[in-house]
Chain A
Amino acid sequence: MIALLSLALKQLSRHRLRTALTVLGVASGMFLFTSVETLQRSLGAATEETAADTTLVVYRENRFCPATSQLPEHYVDEIRGIPGVREVIPIKIIVNNCGASLDVITFRGVPQGLLRKFAPEIEIIEGSDSEWEKRDDSALIGEQFAKRRGLKAGDKFDAVGITVHVAGIIRSPFPQDNNVAYVKLDFLQQASRTGLGIVTQFNVRVEKSSDLKPVAAAIDARFKSDQQPTDTRPEKAFFAETAGQLIELIGFTRWLGLGAVIAVIALVANAILLMVRSRVKENAVLRTLGYPGRAIMFLVLSEGGLLGLMGGLLGAGLAWGFLRWQSFTMGSEGHTLAILPEVSTALFATATALVLGIIASVHPALVAIRQPIVKSLRS
């Protein structure tokens, strides 16, 4: 088996141009496939609720975009008193673009001292807490945001008419946090001219995920007759609603992924079929030497599988590297969708390419063993 695999590898490595062109074609298809898979998985991670989710977002009822959600900051004390609430933080949000956008800049204003308490999982990977504490205009920038904008600790950053000093770069297990700039609430309220005491939303951490629904209902019930009624839902549910256009667009990319898969099958099948046709005599000679049909099949399937594997590794690897390097983010109404490539996605794409290569070689392999030896030797 290994000897035959090595023979298949020699056939590929010594037909360099043909192999390189086929691998390049497969790699292009798998680049697209990996990118689409990454989009789909990132969307899934951003919109599908899991048992680990414990965050609710409280907006003003009937809001569109963060700018139209203006809630009194003093709601925070009343929300904190609702059973099941572990922590609550008032947040002021300013975005540069409210519609669906590929480069959304989001400022989140949070009360000084509350950020680390609300989100202890946030890690400062550059800069320091003391730098964040000591200046009014300091900002903690999400890792992906900083990468996209080329920011580092100590830089000044200006957007949406707000100028901040980058006190540090943060990393969080939650993609949303990696794509925003945290600033101090009072600073953002003043800078945005909405005035002190007004916030966009409250982020509420509940004790456990089963508390999400009852706590949301309790919050909305509490403010139903108040000056600003609220609409409380899990963070992911808001994203799923507001990013409808994005979801539709990303849903369409499934067809691109399917197209990539079909292109890879057609390409490998064509390459292997041409190879089999050009090697009719070679295969007949091998059969004359006593190679059983299953050995010839194994050789042909191996070549197809190896072409798929090489193309898959190249395409998926390039897509993974490219998406990591580019740190693409899509945003809508202040929510961001980070396009985060995962190693598992690249491995899945590579395995898919391997399987596609083998599937595409089945017909050529059958062609290779079906013709009588004598007829093949005469051809």
Chain B
Amino acid sequence: MISCKAITKSYRKGPNVVTPLENLTLEVPRGEFLALMGPSGSGKTTLLNLISGIDTPTSGTLEIDGENIASFSRKQLTKWRAQKVGYIFQLYHLIPVLTAFENVELPLLITSLSRSERRRKAEAVLELVGLTDRSHHTPSELSGGQEQRVAIARALVANPALLVADEPTGDLDRESAGKILELLQTLSREHGKTIVMVTHDARAAAAADRTLHLEKGKLLTEDPNKSLA
């Protein structure tokens, strides 16, 4: 599913060149739930941004489902993101004035789907995340866990094969975090979604099939206690 070969990302910051990722190679098979861990500045969010197509590598190849997205134009990447990837943010990033249903429907507004088709799909994913009864509530009327479930539903609604999650439990209490992780496990195991999750939390990483550690832009070790399911 994901094949990163000798990926490097560097950018200029004032007079200096910063390289958050250097010569990184990584393979993630379809349907795997992968956790990326590492200290702040280790390059895990940069890697997530590259995999999700919101940033591009400076060098190397990044193939997802056989397509080298590193060579995509900005326009191609935008289209690819809309169809192939769902992004889950740590702070949910829901649009505050829209209801849960409207937030989930957002990715479908730029498709050619009819209103009834959009409604059906949005309702289906809201049911999947267990929020049918909260669909007409705005984010301010939801708990943190519920907001994150709405964000997951929004990431799922276009039915992408790949989900990327940037510390999805980082802002949640233990109980809510546990439910979110259970949901991600279900999506991986029962719905075949490939999930790449960045986390600082070892408990969250334990929910994944495999954990990789990054430090200073390089892949360090693979968690020896975990294996592919």
Contact = CB atoms under 8 A, between A and B. Distances in A.
A4 interface: yes
Interface string A267-301: 00000000000000110011111111101000000
Nearest to B46: A374
Contacts of A374: 49, 54-55
Given A373-B55, A374-B49, A289 B97 contact: no
Contact of A282 (B80, B83, B95, B102): B95
Interface in B49-108: 49, 52, 54-55, 75, 78-83, 87, 89, 93, 95, 97-98, 102, 106-107
A295 B118 CA distance: 18
Given A281-B93, A374-B55, A290 B78 contact: yes
B110 interface: yes
A290 B107 contact: yes
Contact of A14 (B82, B87, B89, B97): B97
Which bracket fits the contact residues of B?
A: 20 to 34
Interface residues of A, number: 23
A326 interface: no
B44 interface: no
A11 B138 CA distance: 13
A193 interface: no
Contacts of B87: 288-289
A290 B83 contact: yes
Contacts of B80: 290
A10 B154 CA distance: 18
Given A4-B109, A281-B93, A295-B110, A289 B75 contact: no
Contacts of B115: 3
A15 interface: yes
A372 B106 CA distance: 20
Contacts of A14: 97-98
B75 A292 contact: yes
Nearest to B105: A3
Interface string A1-43: 0011001001100110000000000000000000000000000
Nearest to B45: A374
A322 to B, nearest CB: 34
Given A10-B98, A374-B49, A290 B81 contact: yes
A286 B103 CA distance: 10
Nearest to B94: A285
B78 A287 contact: yes
Given A289-B106, A290-B78, A290-B107, A10 B54 contact: no
Interface in B10-67: 49, 52, 54-55
Contacts of A11: 97
Contacts of A285: 89, 93, 95
A372 B115 CA distance: 31
B89 A7 contact: no
A289 B83 CA distance: 9
A14 B95 CA distance: 11
Contacts of A372: 55
27 contacts: A3-B109, A3-B118, A4-B110, A7-B106, A7-B109, A10-B98, A14-B97, A281-B93, A282-B95, A285-B95, A286-B106, A287-B54, A289-B87, A289-B106, A289-B107, A289-B154, A290-B80, A290-B82, A290-B83, A290-B107, A290-B158, A292-B75, A292-B78, A295-B110, A373-B54, A373-B55, A377-B93
Interface of A: 3-4, 7, 10-11, 14-15, 281-282, 285-293, 295, 372-374, 377
Given A10-B97, A10-B98, A288-B81, 14 more contacts: A3-B109, A281-B93, A287-B54, A289-B87, A290-B80, A290-B83, A290-B158, A291-B78, A291-B110, A292-B78, A295-B110, A372-B55, A373-B54, A373-B55
